[in-house]
Amino acid sequence: MSKIILNHNELLNEILIIKNSGRKVVFTNGCFDILHAGHVDYLNKAKSSGDVLVVALNSDASISRIKGDKRPIVPFEQRAFVISNLQCVDFVTIFEEDTPAKIIEKILPNVLVKGADWDETKIVGRDVVLKNGGEIKRIEFEFKQSTSNIISFILEKYGRN
């Protein structure tokens, strides 16, 4: 794996160095199953909230539990490769649980970012980030796109074979 794709312990070591240097850590998470313009715009906006952007990806098993047994379309290793090669992304990690609560509690980002479609009170990790002096930022979507919409479009256009 790439140096940018880290397990939780490796990430925690990097985050401690970053925070000790006075830089601001931004955290977001998601499936990022079929990368599209909405994802890229969202991640660029997230990065603008601080100095270092950490993206936590749901594991394949986590996505299957949340989205159904036909997902993910793209396996973790390939999703991580694509996300880690975006200029705005500094680190990528994985989480096996249905939510990123454990990794958020470990790294305590300065800024926790989610899409504006999330009610702020329902953002996982909100309480621990705020309690530790961090902030929550909700980002409006520039492109009204989703992986589910892309899958539906493909099935409608090309059949359900």
- Of the candidates 94, 105, 119, the one whose C-alpha atom is nearest the C-alpha of residue 10 is 94
* pLDDT tens string 14-45: 999 999 999 999 999 999 999 999 999 999 99
| Eight-class DSSP state of 120 | G
Phi first, then psi: give them for residue 120, nearest 5 degrees.
-55, -35
pLDDT at 161: 56
Contacting residues for 10 by C-beta, under 8 A, at least 6 apart: none
Q: Which residue segments constitute the domains of the chain, with CATH numbers given?
A: 8-158 (3.40.50.620)
Extended beta strands in the chain, E state: 25-30, 52-58, 91-95, 111-115, 135-139
What pTM was computed for the model? 0.92
pLDDT at 1: 46
Q: How many CB atoms lie within 10 A of CB 91?
A: 24
Decide: helix, strand or coil at residue 136.
strand
Length reported for the chain: 161
| Eight-class DSSP state of 5 | B
pLDDT at 2: 59
Residues of the chain with pLDDT under 50: 1
Tell me the C-alpha distance between 82 and 41, whole Å: 15
